[in-house]
Amino acid sequence: MSKNEKRQEAMELVGKAYQHHMKNEIDQAIELYNRSLEVCPTAEAFTFRGWAKSTLKEFDEAIADCHRAIDLDPEFGNPYNDIGAYFVEMGQPEDAIPWLRMALKAKRYESYCFPYFNLGRVYEGLEKLEQALEYYRKALDENAGYVAAARAIERVKEKLGLRASASSGGGQ
């Protein structure tokens, strides 16, 4: 079997794994991602297996898989974003920032809305609401149908409004 044929078979397994993943059948998804990696290691299989492991709160293993993905394809944006998201989930938002910025610079990435959104989460968590709002807006600019970003914008606007009225001397 040629290298291209192996890669094609591996990517077909990634597709099947992804279908299980979307049905929250995580064990089956991980098994198929593993089979894909046995056929031909790809950045996609490592990244998505890491994502599946993150749903089990296995963040160290998920981050290790993302590093393997980056080693295979440094231009693939997903693993950078995912590492950043895992740091946010682990309560280490400052560690997330450089990874999310690298995701925004990746040449092979279809969803720049995610690192923008995750940067918004970081800055909102750090109470830097103006920066959070800026990044949530960029996420929505990248994907006009991104409901989570639209909700985040409204939430941060409310926080900014509450902060403005509280600091204007209206409250005790």
Query: Span 20-42, mean pLDDT?
Result: 97
What is the per-residue pLDDT for 134?
98
Query: What pLDDT, on the 0 to 100 scale, is given for residue 170?
Result: 47
Mean pLDDT of 10-17: 97
pLDDT confidence of residue 144: 97
Q: What is the pLDDT of residue 1?
A: 84
Give 115-172 pLDDT, tens digit per residue: 999 999 999 999 999 999 999 999 999 999 999 999 999 999 999 997 665 555 544 4
CA atoms within 13 A on the CB side of 63: 15
Selected from 3.90.1720, 1.25.40, 3.40.50, 2.60.40, the CATH number assigned to the domain covering 112-172 reads 1.25.40
30 close to 14: Cβ distance less than 8 angstroms: no
Question: How confident is the model over 47-104, as pLDDT tens digits?
Answer: 999 999 999 999 999 999 999 999 999 999 999 999 999 999 999 999 999 999 999 9
> Residue 43's pLDDT is what?
97
What are the DSSP calls for the chain, one per residue? --HHHHHHHHHHHHHHHHHHHHTT-HHHHHHHHHHHHHH---HHHHHHHHHHHHHTT-HHHHHHHHHHHHHH-TTB-HHHHHHHHHHHHTT-HHHHHHHHHHHHH-SB-S-THHHHHHHHHHHHHTT-HHHHHHHHHHHHHH-TT-HHHHHHHHHHHHHHHHHHHHHTT---
pTM above 0.75, yes or no: yes
